[in-house]
Amino acid sequence: MISHIDISGIHYELSEDLKKYTVRKVSKLDRFVPRHARKSMHVEVKLSELKTKSDRNQCEIIVHLPDQQVMAKESTVNMFAAIDIVETKIKNQLKKYKDLHGGDKQDHRGKLRRFFRNQRNS
């Protein structure tokens, strides 16, 4: 579980329900990060209300990892929906990060074993 989550409201007052919902959604993102990066990982969540023709709620999540930042932003009419959409976007980006930065070494060894086993049988 992510230990350091900063939630801030920009021109928006945060309710306790919204804070709890945000923490519940964001704290599950550490599953998609390699173990070596989890210790120094922290997350910023910025919730804001845009004053345009149609009132829009914007959610931005920035995940600080050891060697880069992963960011996603979405604006919808409902703040809870914006959080869900951004969480899905971040999840997909973190899966790619984990694939690139050595997330599953056991899987790699299994592929090598299968390769060499097939070479011997041929």
Out of 1.10.3720.10, 3.40.710.10, 3.30.160.100, 3.40.720.10, the CATH code matching 5-121 is 3.30.160.100
Decide: 43 and 64 in contact? Cβ < 8 Å: yes
How much is the pLDDT for 109? 64
How much is the pLDDT for 107? 57
How much is the pLDDT for 20? 96
Supply angle C-alpha 90, 18, 21, rounded to 5: 55
Strands 42-50 and 5-10: parallel
Write out the chain's pLDDT in tens, 122 residues: 788 999 999 988 999 999 999 999 999 999 999 888 888 899 999 999 988 777 789 999 999 998 899 999 999 999 999 999 999 999 999 999 988 886 555 556 666 777 777 777 76
How much is the pLDDT for 106? 56
Q: Which residues pair with 119 in a beta bridge?
A: none
Burial 96-120 (b: 16+ CB within 10 A, else e): ebbeeeebeeeeeeeeeeeeeeeee
Q: How far is CA 100 from CA 8, 30, 96, 97, 105, in A?
A: 31, 16, 6, 5, 11
Helix, coil or strand: residue 1: coil
Taking the C-alpha atoms of residue 93 and residue 72, their distance in angstroms, rounded to an integer, is 9
